[in-house]
């Protein structure tokens, strides 16, 4: 049985899920982003125990197909932004369609309806989150960050940054980055 888990996007969350399933003596295959495959017979009581164990960590099971698709879209976007060093060979819409095997228009409409934000704005927000992370580390210049995240120019990155945060990248870097909105709030 394949379980779809909301907010399981990092190695830390995967490890938490695997540890909780071990504690429940359930047999599973290694976790992937957003999902895990249980093997053997799974009872309704097992599902309830899993839900309870995951809830302690802010994770939850996604049981309906639309919620699962929304989470897969989010996970794919996060992976795409975090692996931005690898150039996309296609645009975002084709990437998502081929990866998730759904028509992009259907996904975009569903995403907007459920999340109240377009996929494009979600991508932009996560790219800016990545910019903030890279600025905070202080290892790259804004030009290098712009290139790394495939912005057409530093001016384009700066414009998007200000549109999302209300501040320039330099102001963000000088401010010490405290109290800023993070991707966890989206």
Q: What is the DSSP string of 84-98?
A: TTS--SS-HHHHHHH
At 185 the pLDDT is: 43
CB 53 within 8 A of CB 24: yes
- The dihedrals phi and psi of 60, each to the nearest 5 degrees, come to -150, 155
Q: Mean pLDDT lowest for which of 40-49, 84-93, 102-111, 125-134? A: 84-93
Apex 13 CA angle, 92 and 78, nearest 5 = 10
At 183 the pLDDT is: 46
What are the sequence ranges of the domains in the chain?
A: 2-62, 65-186
Q: What is the CATH number of domain 65-186?
A: 1.10.10.60
Query: How far is the C-alpha of 138 from the C-alpha of 95, rounded, in Å?
Result: 30
Name the token pair of 186.
Answer: 């989206």
pTM above 0.75, yes or no: no
Fold for domain 2-62?
A: Alpha-Beta Plaits (3.30.70)
């Amino acid at each position: 049985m394949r379980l779809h888990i909301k907010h399981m996007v990092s190695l830390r969350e995967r490890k938490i899920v695997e540890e909780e399933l071990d504690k429940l003596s359930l047999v599973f295959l290694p976790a992937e982003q957003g999902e895990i495959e249980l093997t053997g017979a799974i009872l309704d009581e097992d599902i309830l125990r899993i839900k309870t164990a995951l809830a302690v960590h802010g994770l939850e099971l996604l049981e309906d197909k639309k919620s699962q698709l929304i989470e897969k879209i989010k996970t794919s976007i996060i992976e795409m932004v975090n692996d931005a060093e690898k150039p996309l060979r296609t645009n975002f819409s084709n990437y998502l369609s081929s990866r998730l095997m759904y028509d992009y228009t259907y996904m975009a409409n569903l995403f907007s309806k459920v999340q109240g934000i377009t996929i494009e704005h979600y991508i932009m927000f996560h790219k800016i989150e990545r910019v903030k992370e890279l600025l905070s580390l202080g290892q790259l210049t804004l030009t290098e960050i712009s290139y790394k995240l495939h912005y057409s120019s530093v001016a384009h990155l700066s414009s998007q940054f200000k549109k999302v945060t209300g501040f320039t990248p330099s102001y963000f870097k000088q401010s010490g980055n405290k109290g800023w909105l993070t991707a966890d709030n989206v």
